[in-house]
Structure 1
């Protein structure tokens, strides 16, 4: 239930539509002059909150940080543009009621008291609008037939696209190591001893050694043979250091958005409703 006790908490709260899409944040809160119950909020939409759209609080909910309205995001953003600069006059409020289909304007909504709003400035705006309506009653030439009287000129507006960037987390990279076993094959030279038999004839030089023993005897001679065997050993040594780092890569991305602009048509008397488009402003924009 959104009542007068929650007015101060509404300012700055996120606003979500019936499609669970975020519309924007609350800019101003308008309350009923009689009951002081909040009836409308302005929702800051667009890039950097450059636009404000009115949204009704009928059947809306507020959980302390998020306002959920009963209309989807696109519907709220397409609501009639009304200056959120003071008390709503009957024609502005009626235009909003007609768009949202939630009744007729019986009491004018006024912005809730908040440090964000200058009440003296709001009263000045109301006084200006009163003076404009009074002048029109005395025969101002030209007036806006679809809204309150301003002056004898019509303002043409257009949307401007503002493009910016924000930094978001795109993913995470981690270093992880694990053990891999592989076979290593290498050739190692090994040596061994083999028995060789040498025979030499008896000569004067070795005759003394040959006749040193008995004439006939049985005996054995033994030779120890040796060989080399392969011995392996392993040691762990550091081979390299690997670290994580980041680098910034800039690439071009194309942004495609729709922007709206107003065109002014001249309806001349006696032309059976045929209009002439004022293309001067459009041509100027195209040339620029």
Structure 2
């Protein structure tokens, strides 16, 4: 569990229990990290608590007035002896970390990695408008129409001798006949010729969306400064 400055009073004097539940000793001093949170503590061991050993508070669980750690009693008691009543230096912290991480193969560290996920949603928006308008155009139409008309015809028939009893006299005369014919008359009427229905329909197409997403990666650094 993560401790805060409010836990200092509770931690001080609490009984430290090892991984098997056996008492290691009582907490003497509590050391804070740069953010002011408890990170290390000392436990008084030996005859009448004459010896103090450092141990990390990371992963420890507070159970009332007892603090359970994931280390054995021997591992805690064999921690490097460091004389410091104010704060641990970086070198001292590294020395203690090497002791607890190298000597106890069961010690594990857990780090959560996160990444951004791209979520895509759909929203219906207006993309444009279509306006339909009808108007009148004038065009020429040609239609072939059969028409009938009269024409004058002249038929000549010879007269045989003896068919006319009396001799004919020479005279002048005019005869007139009326000729008839058909003429074309036009008229216009408006009739419906076509019905146009208009509406909308949905079509589906594939679009590609590209965005930048971030994710966390892990770099491990050895105590000698090498990064891998």
* TM-score calculated relative to the size of structure 2: 0.43
More RCO (CA 8 Å, sep 6+): 2
Bigger-Rg structure (1/2): 2
Q: Which of the pair is proportionally richer in helix? A: 1
